[in-house]
Amino acid sequence: MPVDPASEELEKVTHFDLGTGRVISSITPIKGDDWRGTLRSGGAIMGMDVDGKEFFQFWRMWEDSESETVIPHIDGELDNKPSTIRIERLTHDNSIKFSSLLLSQTEDFFLFSSTEDGPAEIHTYMTRLTDSKTGISPSSTAAFSLPRTRITAKASSGRAHWAASSVSLDNKYVLLTDIKGASYRPLYVLDISDPATLPAQPERLLLPGATEREEETNNSWISFSRDAATPHLVYIITDAYGDFRSSLILDLDSRTVLRHITASEPSLNAIRAIPWDVKGHVVLEDMLYMVANIDGWDAHYVMPLSGTRKHEVIEIKFDGDGADSASFSPTFNRKNGRPYEICYRLASYRSSGGLAYADLEPALERVQTDNEGKSFIVVTLKSYKQAQPIAPAFKTVAPKVIKFKSFDGLEVPFVYYHPCEGKKRVPVNIEIHGGPTVQATSLRKSRIHGYLINELECAVLYPNVRGSIGYGKKYMMADDVYLREDSVKDIGALIDYIGEHMKDELDASKIFVSGGSYGGYMTFACLTHYSNKLACGLATCGIADWVAFLSNTAAHRQDNRRREYGDETDPDVRAFLQRISPASNADKITSPLWISHGENDSRVPFEQAYFMYDSCVKRGVHAELIAGVNEGHGFKQKSVLEYVSGSKILFLERFFAKAATA
């Protein structure tokens, strides 16, 4: 689709048929490669999984018109007609996961992560795009295997989970993180100036003056400067200086923090304190673009890196098409030399999404100041003609955020939708998100949300129980290991809150609970604790047995999940996990239960779903189970999604709608 939002041009580029279940996870545009003995300019590298197991493989996309030499048909090349885009496979083992592709700023090589040196560890590899010296002839038709060099060494203890974050403009350094868990992501630097003599291990980088415990610090969105004059300046989002994640500038050469950009602690003298998480930022040649999470809604900021407003943090306020959206996911037109041109993916409670265009450059010439003396600009959004948000044919209602006190006094928020603006007492769905380090916002709605609001006249509540992100890391860690069931108690407290404080608009005697992944666990757990208060439950890909889950989830995930849920190899932790597992308490479930699960789920094994189904059926409790063929952790095929939604509706009409109208 062209940059011009008024254009009516739209071209589909993938037409191949690999059967059901495939998922394209990423498309990374590149300048080109010479792997096949000739320069193939342009195109991209695509990450794709073919069966739901999430063991993604890499594929090369290119066009003959951009190549020096037309390459003959390659063994295993996908049939992508009628598109002129050709696609060949670069990796060939579906038992190995390839992910986290990072292109160097010079675009002559890239880094990626893979499990090929052992299923329990993830290492980082380097592949040259040009000057690759593969020795392959342009006339060769043989399948090609991506050449790579591992740049991270095996861990001396524990398991490594390396991911490359950024390469310096002079190709001297790469910054990496070892992803231990949601709350712990240490930062490392590796000198790659001579790939033939790499250091034995990356060097650990500790942020100077950090006030938080190192083992509870998450470093993310790590990016080198794109300015050739300052190639070793690093922009980092970290919670090393407080409860919330903030942006800062680090000088790698001197190992000093030059400026705190958004930290809320007064002693750090940030450029503009933001007392919420900065959820992401993008470093461009002449600006830093940041997105903060303000109680579940996106707030956007730009910080010029040169000129009269250098290092001034300016809020972006939107008007025009889609300005009421809750999320604006930006993509920058930097490859065409116009980084201030941005394509936003918009999403709100009104629609599932659309694309809009904006140009920051003229707006930055008209910076305004609010009543508190803070800078802002107003940016007009223009919808792309071929990707306008499609308003649903049915009624939509705006959400609001309500907070309640849980059993221990902790304040817990939930996103609240009422079909009649609170003017009528209606039944309730409590939909619990997965993760658990995720956040329910106005964007996260179940696929049957509209049906619940319009057909069942049912209120929908999306709670952010303890363990959710967006409220500081203490809140995020408040459900770890032995505190696991405190998040379940949050739902119990919410049920009580509905009955005590919302009884004029919600019927506490008519509630069902639902969720997927960790939300599926929460559904199972709530039914074991509160079946007498719940009409029924719907669980997708839910964890039922903590010990079996941790022992059998994909090997490269185990250590990460153990940090969150507990190490089942420790006898005391194992006993605790067995005691709280829904599978150990399934005999307490008396409410009807609907379950769905992908047969190829590599995160939560399918057997967990069958156990819960079988346990209920044997005791005479109504249960239904849908097994998704060629599906993994969550469903991707349109036909499966539609079938599953229809099944949910039939189940609810039988076990909830009748009770709700009784």
Annotate 338-356 with three-state secondary structure: EEEEEEEEEEECCEEEEEE
Q: Are residues 493 and 564 in the same domain?
A: yes
Q: Are residues 629 and 527 in the same domain?
A: yes
Q: Are residues 505 and 594 in the same domain?
A: yes
Q: Are residues 572 and 463 in the same domain?
A: yes
Residue 608 is predicted with a pLDDT of 94
Number of domains, the chain: 2
Tokens found for residue 326 = 């809750």
Residue 251 included in any domain: no
Q: Which of 338, 373, 392 is a domain's end point?
A: 392
| CATH of residue 635 | 3.40.50.1820
Residue 97 included in any domain: no
Q: Are residues 606 and 546 in the same domain?
A: yes
The pTM (predicted TM-score) of the whole model is 0.93
Q: Are residues 417 and 450 in the same domain?
A: yes
Tokens found for residue 520 = 């599926």
Q: Are residues 475 and 586 in the same domain?
A: yes
125/145 Cα distance (integer angstroms) = 14
Q: Which of 349, 367, 392 is a domain's end point?
A: 392
Residue 327 is predicted with a pLDDT of 62
Alpha helices per DSSP H over 69-181: none
Residue 469 is predicted with a pLDDT of 95
If phi > 0 it is left, if psi is from -120 to 50 it is alpha, else beta; for residue 655 that is alpha
Give the domain extent around 374. 313-392
Q: Is the pLDDT of residue 409 over 70?
A: yes
Residue 529 included in any domain: yes
The more confidently predicted of residues 328 and 360 is 360
- Band (pLDDT 50/70/90 cuts) for residue 322 is low
Q: Are residues 503 and 544 in the same domain?
A: yes
Q: Are residues 350 and 424 in the same domain?
A: no
Residue 107 included in any domain: no
Cβ–Cβ under 8 Å, residues 318 and 357: no
Residue 22 included in any domain: no
532/522 Cα distance (integer angstroms) = 16
Q: Are residues 343 and 442 in the same domain?
A: no
List, in order, residues 6 or more apart from 138 with CB less than 8 Å away. Answer: 36, 37, 38, 69, 71
Q: Which of 347, 376, 392 is a domain's end point?
A: 392
Q: Are residues 363 and 505 in the same domain?
A: no
- Band (pLDDT 50/70/90 cuts) for residue 134 is very high
Per-residue pLDDT of 334-358, as tens digits, reads 877 788 888 888 877 877 678 888 9
Mean pLDDT of the chain: 92
Per-residue pLDDT of 178-194, as tens digits, reads 999 889 999 999 999 98
Residue 563 is predicted with a pLDDT of 87
Q: Are residues 484 and 347 in the same domain?
A: no
> Residue 352: CA atoms inside 13 Å, Cβ hemisphere, count?
9
